[in-house]
């Protein structure tokens, strides 16, 4: 098949991962991240949208090493190892949220002037843009890249139990069920993500960080390795700012993946608000032999403004896609737990057939395609890599199993019965009550919602003055017959 990964177009860099695993939900991520940071020798880079020093990394675990709260944990690492360099880069507007939600300014103020733990607030972005990229890099030997922030409300297990006593805010309040995803990698891929983290630091502070070359293995001891010695694409989004040119590798990759999917496209995203992405899906669904598309979203957006803007945009785009869906192959669903409580979907995943897996920080909204900073990883299997193809399919099946409250084997057996149709498998295994997937309802928008859906106030596509231009790379893939060659 023709590769979807081209440096300078659909990705920034293609790098070898000696080991790579997908991590589902925050409980596992926090656990593995803690293990990795405990093994750090020279450097830890934390790049994110938000951090909350009060959160526990392993709540509810009596055997968890102490200290367990993020702020105290990082301070303990710095005291224990006088050679370690800890860098935390946080979106500057996120500081206001930290203070208004009650987070103590003790660590923030202390780290702003610390010589061991360096916190910087990143304001290197256009007005109203956000730094949404989420990276954790240890010694340039191991890295986490995905959609999970080390902040309040992200911790949850795959059970998403109702009123889980460990799922509490730093103030002790119950938190809602939360579904998320990230990845862990080692080797040259981790080193490349370390380079990206240092570039972000320099852009924000003007300071060039030294790369510390060490012989270490920070791989978490109980994290099962899923992939070994594979090439992975690193795709970014970054708005034009000062000397930096616009970067839209994630948008290019996303549209190319949609165009290339043959049988199934499985997507998880916090939002469905990018018209360009919706139009790409509509084109495929208008084809007689187009793929099935399953999009897993939250039941609704968080907050008043997001709800008004993002949910209104979603309804507009749902109608656009459903009108083009000649074969009834499109579903947009949200998960619920055993008690029927909606599980908030924060994961950002896209799996095309058994050929492509994309995971990172980018949602299907305008900001993620051109206005905020984002980072995704893309795995692509060739025709002669049956084991890799099987593992990519197993990732999708495991996610469906989690949402449907069954085993991965149940999903795989269902696929055999359903001749590979993930829509029929969902119908077969979904339950009317308890854990399962529910359809996002369609409704008519009010005039105020119509106006909000058309506005780019909450979800701008590009910085002012920037227009969309499809690359030659993308035009070839959008205007040729879809499918794998």
Q: How many CB atoms lie within 10 A of CB 54?
A: 20
175 and 134 belong to one structural domain: yes
Cβ contacts of 389-398, under 8 Å, gap ≥ 24: 389/354, 389/355, 390/354, 391/226, 391/227, 392/351, 392/354, 392/355, 392/356, 392/357, 393/353, 393/354, 395/22, 395/351, 395/357, 396/264, 396/266, 396/351, 396/422, 398/24
Identify any residues that bridge with 356 across adjacent strands, giving them in sequence order: 352, 380
Contact criterion met (CB below 8 Å) for 425 and 415: yes
37 and 124 belong to one structural domain: yes
208 and 304 belong to one structural domain: no
- For 334-386, the pLDDT digits (tens) are 999 999 999 999 999 999 999 999 999 999 999 999 999 999 999 999 999 99
Domain that holds residue 385: 234-474
Tokens describing residue 124: 């290197």
pLDDT of residue 484: 38
- Does residue 43 sit within a domain? yes
Q: Report the distance separating Cα 209 and Cα 206, nearest Å.
A: 10
Tokens describing residue 56: 């526990």
Instruction: Indicate the pTM of the whole model.
Output: 0.93
Which stretches in the chain have pLDDT values below 50? 464-465, 479-485
Helix (H), strand (E), coil (C) string for 93-140: CHHHHHHHCCCCHHHHHHHHCCCCEEEEEECCCCCCCCECCCEEEECC
- Does residue 393 sit within a domain? yes
- Does residue 151 sit within a domain? yes
296 and 441 belong to one structural domain: yes
- For 404-454, the pLDDT digits (tens) are 999 999 999 999 999 999 999 999 999 989 999 999 998 776 665 565 555
- Does residue 4 sit within a domain? no
Identify any residues that bridge with 247 across adjacent strands, giving them in sequence order: 238
Question: At which of 181, 208, 230 does a domain end?
Answer: 230
- Does residue 109 sit within a domain? yes
- Does residue 37 sit within a domain? yes
242 and 215 belong to one structural domain: no
336 and 348 belong to one structural domain: yes
Question: At which of 169, 201, 230 does a domain end?
Answer: 230
- Does residue 226 sit within a domain? yes
286 and 221 belong to one structural domain: no
53 and 171 belong to one structural domain: yes
CATH number, domain containing residue 21: 3.30.870.10
208 and 240 belong to one structural domain: no
Task: Say how many domains are in the chain.
Answer: 2
- Does residue 99 sit within a domain? yes
Q: Report the distance separating Cα 296 and Cα 308, nearest Å.
A: 19
298 and 189 belong to one structural domain: no
Distance between first and last Cα of the chain = 5
239 and 94 belong to one structural domain: no
């Amino acid at each position: 098949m023709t590769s979807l990964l081209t440096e300078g177009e659909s990705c920034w860099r293609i790098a070898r991962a000696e080991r790579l695993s997908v991590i589902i939900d925050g409980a596992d991520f926090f656990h593995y991240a803690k293990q990795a940071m405990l093994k750090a020798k020279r450097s830890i880079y934390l790049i994110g949208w938000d951090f909350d020093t009060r959160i526990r990394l392993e709540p509810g675990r009596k055997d968890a090493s102490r200290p367990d709260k993020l702020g105290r944990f990082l301070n303990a690492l710095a005291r224990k190892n006088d050679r370690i360099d800890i860098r935390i880069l946080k979106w500057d507007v996120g500081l206001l949220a930290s203070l208004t939600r009650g987070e103590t300014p003790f660590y923030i103020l202390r780290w702003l002037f610390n010589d061991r733990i360096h916190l910087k607030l990143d304001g290197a972005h256009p007005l109203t843009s956000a730094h949404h990229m989420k990276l954790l890099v240890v010694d340039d030997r191991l890295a986490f890249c995905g959609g999970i922030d080390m902040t309040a409300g992200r911790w949850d297990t795959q059970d998403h139990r109702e009123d889980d006593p460990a799922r509490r805010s730093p103030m002790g309040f119950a938190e809602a069920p939360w579904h998320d995803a990230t990845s862990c990698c080692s080797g040259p891929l981790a080193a490349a993500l370390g380079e990206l983290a240092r570039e972000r630091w320099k852009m924000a502070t003007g300071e060039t960080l030294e790369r510390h070359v060490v012989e270490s293995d920070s791989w978490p001891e109980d994290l099962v390795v899923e992939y070994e010695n594979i090439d992975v694409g690193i795709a970014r989004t970054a708005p034009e700012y000062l000397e930096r040119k616009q970067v839209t590798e994630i948008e290019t990759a996303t549209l190319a993946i949609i165009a290339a999917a043959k049988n199934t496209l499985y997507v998880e995203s916090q939002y469905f608000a990018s018209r360009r992405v919706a139009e790409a899906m509509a084109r495929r669904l208008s084809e007689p032999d187009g793929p099935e598309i399953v999009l897993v979203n939250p039941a609704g957006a968080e907050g008043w403004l997001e709800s008004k803007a993002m949910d209104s945009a979603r309804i507009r785009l749902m109608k656009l896609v459903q009108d083009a869906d000649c074969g009834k192959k499109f579903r947009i669903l949200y998960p619920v737990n055993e008690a029927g409580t909606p599980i908030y979907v924060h994961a950002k995943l896209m799996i095309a057939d058994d050929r492509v897996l994309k995971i990172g920080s980018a949602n299907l909204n305008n900001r993620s395609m051109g206005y905020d900073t984002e980072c995704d990883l893309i795995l692509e299997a060739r025709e002669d890599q049956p084991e890799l193809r099987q593992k990519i399919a197993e990732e999708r099946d495991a996610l469906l199993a989690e949402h449907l409250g069954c085993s991965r084997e149940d999903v795989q057996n269902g696929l055999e019965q359903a001749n590979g149709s993930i829509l029929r498998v969902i119908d077969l295994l979904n339950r009317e009550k308890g854990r399962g997937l529910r359809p996002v309802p369609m409704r008519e928008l009010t005039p105020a919602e119509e106006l909000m859906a058309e506005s780019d106030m909450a979800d701008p596509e590009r910085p002012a003055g920037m227009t969309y231009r499809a690359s030659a790379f993308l035009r070839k893939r959008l205007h040729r017959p879809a499918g794998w060659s």
